[in-house]
Chain A
Amino acid sequence: MCGIAGLYIKNPDLYPKLGELFKPMLVAMTSRGPDSAGVAIYRDPVADGHTKYSLAHNDVAYDWSGLSTTLNQQLKTTSTITQRDTHALLVTDADESFVKHWLQEYDNEVRLVGSGQSVEIYKETGLPEDVYNRFGLASAAGQHMIGHTRMATESAVTTAGSHPFATGADLCLVHNGSLSNHNRLREELIRKGVSFSSENDSEVAAAYLTWKLRQAIPLKQALEDALVDLDGFFTFCIGTSDGFAVLRDPIACKHAVMAETDDWVAMATEFRAIATLPGADSARIWEPKPATVYAWGNESVSEHMSAPIPNDSAGHVAGGA
């Protein structure tokens, strides 16, 4: 099972309501994935030269300020850290590869769940509504969010196995489906120097994209390559710095539905998750075609991904597929 959802706001007047609008989308997908949930929200971009790291630790009382202080001393930098439940946001201008290496050395129980200029990733085991609330997301402002509700099939119910999975700076992936060649692909990627933090099949998809993007392959091309190299069922929603992209496998038996109004673009596993958005009744609604990359964002994303907003000609449905 699993449920995924994405919301991209076009009308800036609605930015302050992002978290409020997204909450019922995620909660509606509880029946598809009651064991864990996670979201990526894009907001509050940090200054140029700085990076925002989303960190997590199983202990809610973990000493995050201690981590920040030690980092400042050892890497001779100035960083700030903000705790949000089991997660913390670290912002620093230190070199990214140094920071990542340092975090592993400092405490290997601290998990780096995402990084970039604006992305923040929060994920935990538990009911989606509880997860959403504990990170205080209902009042969050921003431009876009993607989320996932998990019903584990391929690996254990753990925070590390929850989605979204980071795939690079400001990039992350949520997945509905199951991959059948993930073990072999994981081995291949490990040989190529990609590291993993779980046995999860979706993490392999994320790692695959990370590996592609590291080679400066554009996201659209990386996704098209994924159609060849990933064997299994998938609907992916990929969060980018200024929008999101959607891809389904060529068989397309994992449901997906998309909708668009003048104010927003949304995708979800089922239309139920979109029905609560303002104007959903009269939105343009369609089912994303198999093996086709869809992308939303501002001009730079459109250029970068060169994926057209699909026309009205075929396969538009409500309710997901």
Chain B
Amino acid sequence: MDLQAVGLRAVNKKLQSMDPNTNEREWIIENPMGGHAIACGLTVPLSVTINGHVGFYCAGMNQEACVTVEGHAGVGVAENMMSGLVRIKGNASQSAGATGHGGFLVIEGDASSRCGISMKGIDIVVGGSVGHMSGFMAQLGHMVICGDAGEALGDSIYEAKLFVAGSVESLGADCIEKEMSSEHLSTLAALLEKAELNKDAATFRRYGSARTLYNFDIDHADAY
């Protein structure tokens, strides 16, 4: 489908209304021209390739579908994804994978700030680096960063697991480096393999919650 010729609503409606048992599983979207909300709300295991750069909220709320962007992605790619796979061949802007409940997001290039903010079960693998405040209030799931992490990684993090191969500019409140067990190593290696990134799991460090913000602390009473 040519997005410029057919229009966004027609493209999304077509993809959203496919029968789960359809044989028409392969779709290509041409001329995205940075448009917003492309391939959002898919619920059927389709394979959708977008040939070009996309704007905001691409592949949001994805369930089951496999969406590949042959270019860069704007703000909020794969926002609130439930399941399926979203792969960005280029870089992603802010809030990639925000609030994602499940599924797999691969960003082959860099992601900007707030990657994986409030993630709730999604697995995110970034081939490059992430910007500031990534993993903010991350609740569940894994975020793998093959490059560096910006300021305040994992601020106020809950139970998501963060893996970083490069440097971490600074850790956010209540985020600490944690032991990398053999179990973590095998989970990480599986995520890297699934992302098709040739990176040695042994070069990563793990970060997670110190769990000191979970309960009210009387020593902090003055702060309220």
Q: How far is the CA of A286 from the CA of B54 in the complex (A)?
A: 13
List 26 contacting pairs A-B, 8 Å CB cutoff, sorted by A: A253-B94, A255-B75, A270-B34, A272-B35, A272-B55, A275-B53, A276-B33, A285-B90, A285-B91, A287-B94, A314-B110, A314-B128, A314-B147, A316-B90, A317-B92, A317-B109, A318-B34, A318-B54, A318-B74, A318-B90, A318-B91, A319-B72, A319-B74, A320-B55, A320-B93, A321-B93
Chain B residue at minimal CB-CB distance from A28:
B34
Assembly CA distance A317 to B111 (angstroms): 8
In the assembled complex, the Cα of A285 lies from the Cα of B52 at a distance in Å of 12
A316–B131 Cα distance when bound, in Å, is 11
Residues in B with CB closer than 8 Å to A275 are: 33-34, 53
List residues 161-213 of chain A with CB under 8 A from any CB of chain B.
none
**Considering residues B53, B71, B91, which has the most beta carbons from chain A within 10 angstroms of its beta carbon?**
B53
Q: Among the listed A274, A281, A285, A287, which residue makes an inter-chain contact with B112, where contact means beta carbons less than 8 Å apart?
A: A287
Q: Is the CB of B112 within 8 A of A318?
A: no
Give chain B nearest CB distance to A162 CB in angstroms: 25
Interface string of B66-84 (1 = CB under 8 A from A): 0000011111000000000
CB pair A318 B72 closer than 8 Å: yes
Question: What chain A residues lie within 8 Å of B62 (beta carbons)?
Answer: none
Interface of chain B residues 73 through 116 with chain A (CB within 8 A): 73-75, 90-94, 109-113
**Contact string, A12-51, partner B, CB cutoff 8 A, digits 1/0?**
0000000000000000000000000000000000000000
Closest residue of chain A to B113, judged by CB?
A252
- A interface residues, how many (CB within 8 angstroms): 26
Determine whether B118 belongs to the interface, using a CB cutoff of 8 Å to chain A: no
Contact between B34 and A271 (Cβ–Cβ < 8 Å)? yes
The distance in angstroms between the C-alpha atoms of A74 and B166, with both chains bound, is 69
Q: How far is the CB of B168 from chain A (nearest CB, A)?
A: 14
The verdict on A270 contacting B73 (CB below 8 Å), with A252-B113, A319-B34, A321-B93 known, is no
B110-A316 in contact (CB<8A): yes
Please give, as numbers and ranges, the residues of chain A lying within 8 Å of B74 by CB-CB distance.
255, 257, 270-271, 317-321
A313 to B55 Cα, complex, angstroms: 21
Inter-chain CA distance A319–B147, complex, in Å, is: 22
A270 to B58, CA, bound (A): 14
A317-B90, A318-B53, A318-B93 known, 17 other contacts, Cβ within 8 Å: A253-B94, A272-B35, A281-B53, A281-B71, A287-B91, A314-B129, A314-B131, A315-B110, A317-B73, A317-B74, A317-B110, A317-B112, A318-B55, A318-B72, A318-B73, A319-B75, A319-B93
Contacts of A253 in B (CB 8 A): 94
Closest to B91 in A: A317
Which residue numbers of B lie inside 8 Å of A, CB to CB?
33-36, 52-56, 71-75, 90-94, 109-113, 128-129, 131-132, 147-148
Contacts of A272 in B (CB 8 A): 33-36, 55
Contact status B34-A290, CB under 8 Å? no
**Nearest A residue to B147 by beta-carbon distance?**
A314
C-alpha gap A35/B86 in the complex (Å):
36
Roughly how many angstroms separate A271 CA and B183 CA in the complex, as a whole number?
Answer: 41
Q: Which residues of A contact B (CB under 8 A)?
A: 252-253, 255, 257, 270-276, 281, 285-287, 289-290, 313-321
On whether the beta carbons of A287 and B53 are closer than 8 Å, the reply is no
Q: How far is the CA of A274 from the CA of B33 in the complex (A)?
A: 9
A276: B residues at CB distance < 8 A: 33
- For B34, list chain A residues within 8 Å (CB): 270-275, 318-319
CA distance A319 to B109 in the complex (A): 14
Q: Which residues of B contact A289 (CB under 8 A)?
A: 131
Contacts of A281 in B (CB 8 A): 52-53, 71
Among A257, A287, A318, point to the contact of B71 (Cβ < 8 A).
A318
**What distance in Å separates the Cβ of B73 from its nearest Cβ neighbour in chain A?**
6
**Given A252, A290, A319, A321, which contacts B53 in the complex, CB threshold below 8 Å?**
A319
B109 touches A271 (CB 8 A): no
Ordered nearest first, which 4 A-B pairs have the shortest CB separation? A319-B74, A318-B72, A271-B34, A318-B53
Chain B residue nearest to A268 in the complex (CB): B34
- Complex Cα gap A281–B110 (Å): 18
| Contact B112–A321 (Cβ < 8 Å) | yes
Is the Cβ of A316 less than 8 Å from the Cβ of B109? yes
Report A-chain residues with C-beta under 8 Å of the C-beta of B72. Answer: 271, 285, 316-319
In the complex, are the beta carbons of B33 and A316 less than 8 A apart? Answer: no
- Quick one: closest A residue to B95, CB to CB? A321
A271 to B113: give the CA distance in the assembly, Å. Answer: 17
